[in-house]
Structure 1
Amino acid sequence: MISRVSSKPSISADSAAIMLGIKVVCVNRIITAVVRSFLSTK
């Protein structure tokens, strides 16, 4: 297990970066939607 992970660090790093990017985009969309709903109600 450890040898496999250490032999392919670039793939795991790329996948982690992609997942982190997707999470950031989703969070940004959720925040903008919440802010717009609050502004529309007020």
Structure 2
Amino acid sequence: MYHVLIIVLFPLLFSTNVIFNVFIYSKIDIYLTDFFISFCTTN
């Protein structure tokens, strides 16, 4: 029973983790591009 639970939960955890990472990275990317644009325009 425990093994089955792990087999079922692990891919779920992995997929949500990937989605979360993509979300975080896209947010960071947006912040970085904003910062870069403002930095370029101020100079």
TM-score (normalised: structure 1): 0.79
User: Aligned-pair distance for 1:8?
Assistant: 1.1
User: Percent of pairs identical after alignment?
Assistant: 13
Aligned length: 39
What are the superposed Cα offsets for residues 1-42 of structure 1, whole Å, 9 maximum, x if unpaired? xx4x62411111100000000011011110000000011111
Moved over 6 A (4+): none
Q: In the alignment, what sits opposite 1:34?
A: 35
